[in-house]
Amino acid sequence: MSDWQLAPHRTVCIEDLRQLATRRLPRVLFDYIDGGAEGERTLAQNTRAFEEIVLRPRSAVSVQSVDLHTNILGHQLNLPFVLAPVGSTRLFFPRGEQCAARAATSAGTAYTLSTLSGTTLEEVRQSASGPLWYQLYLVGGREVAQSAIARARAAGYTALVVTIDTPVSGFRERDARNGMQPLSSGSLGERLRFLPQFVTKPSWVSGFIMDGRPMTFPNIVLPTGPMPYADVGAALAQSAVTWNDFRWIHEAWQGPIVVKGVHTAADAYRAVEEGAAAIVVSNHGGRQLDGVAATLHVLPEVVAAVGDRVQVLMDGGIRRGSDIVKAMALGAKAVLVGRAYAYGVAAAGEPGARRAIDILRTDLMRTMALLGCPSLAELDESYITRRTPSP
């Protein structure tokens, strides 16, 4: 077994998995995961916001065990975090979506499959027995989306996650520099310029070839067949979701809908009016509109606005168990994690994803014990405070 396959077991934090991912992936793919939109200000803010919150432990309290079970959308999960939709995961590692779904199942949590995945939603369903959510973009138009929704229903997905923050694709400067577009749709001459980054990554190259060089999205079935990677940017720009779409989406899905990409109390109200069962305070991990607030800063406003009417989840910047604690102390019912497990998949497939989940779980247990808080339900603002600005 090569070094990178063994290494995930030796990682002790998500940053270690990130380092392994850098070693295995060509730059264009590592940066696709790691990067954010434009100047990456929101990307940086998402993680920095957690540093601004300080924990306030109750000492001399013995916490023997912490129950991490969390009920989300009527499902009892073993953990208060769910794997977020991450497009193109199959490019990170052969059958990457199935690796992530299996890792989620064995940890007793849910996996969210992105519309922009390289594996069919039925194959992902077959490979994992735990709860699966399907994330919807309207790429390809309403009929194409309706057919994906029907397939997700038939396959037994339990929630539909409608992402509302992507009227066009955010501009990620690292992708532009690394030749993301020419590599997927350019002429041979244009591609050649960016090929050297693959020469030093033989394990990724062999995995990609053995996986059949997947360069289509099989859940976006156009009259001409599955949508190729090359067309996705333009297709996203023609397929913005609006609040008016929620009526037909509800009719087609007939199950719980999670609205992902809420930044304000006003949009949270609107999502509730449109029948959301849960909302995700999310800025897409800083990949869409750069310059928006860190999600942790927006969370209290949204929680105050919707109260107990729907479950409020959040994502963005979660790299440690203590980040999950802080989000829950500020009112999140649970969180979604994106890059944390994507680095794991990129580093080593399923063992990497399992390791990422394990790191977050053990971090969370330890943080709760050190905090003197025996249950997630008891987490509230009394356990945190804002860092005093240094003089």
Does 80 help bind ligand FMN (rule: CB under 6 A)? no
| Residue 284 annotated among the catalytic residues of the structure | yes
Among 14, 21, 31, 32, binds ligand FMN (CB under 6 A): 32
Among 8, 317, 344, 351, binds ligand FMN (CB under 6 A): 317
Residue from 75, 263, 284, 297 carrying the catalytic annotation? 284
Q: 318 near 286, Cβ under 8 Å?
A: no
Nearer to ligand FMN, 290 or 315 (CB): 315
Which residue number has the CB closest to ligand FMN? 338
Distance CA 90, CA 285 (A): 19
**Which residue matches tokens 């990130």?**
18
Q: Single out the segment in contact with ligand FMN by CB under 6 A; choices: 100-108, 176-184, 200-208, 313-321.
A: 313-321
Among 46, 98, 119, 311, binds ligand FMN (CB under 6 A): 46
Q: From the CB of 83, what's the least distance to ligand FMN, in Å? A: 9
Number of Cβ within a 10 Å radius of residue 203: 15
Nearer to ligand FMN, 346 or 373 (CB): 346
φ, ψ for residue 13 (rounded to 5)? Answer: -150, 170
Nearer to ligand FMN, 121 or 373 (CB): 121
Q: From the CB of 92, what's the least distance to ligand FMN, in Å? A: 8
Does 162 help bind ligand FMN (rule: CB under 6 A)? no
Could you list the residues that contact ligand FMN (CB under 6 A)? Answer: 32-33, 46, 84-87, 114, 116, 135, 163, 260, 282, 284-285, 287, 315-318, 337-340, 342
Which residues does the annotation mark as catalytic? 284
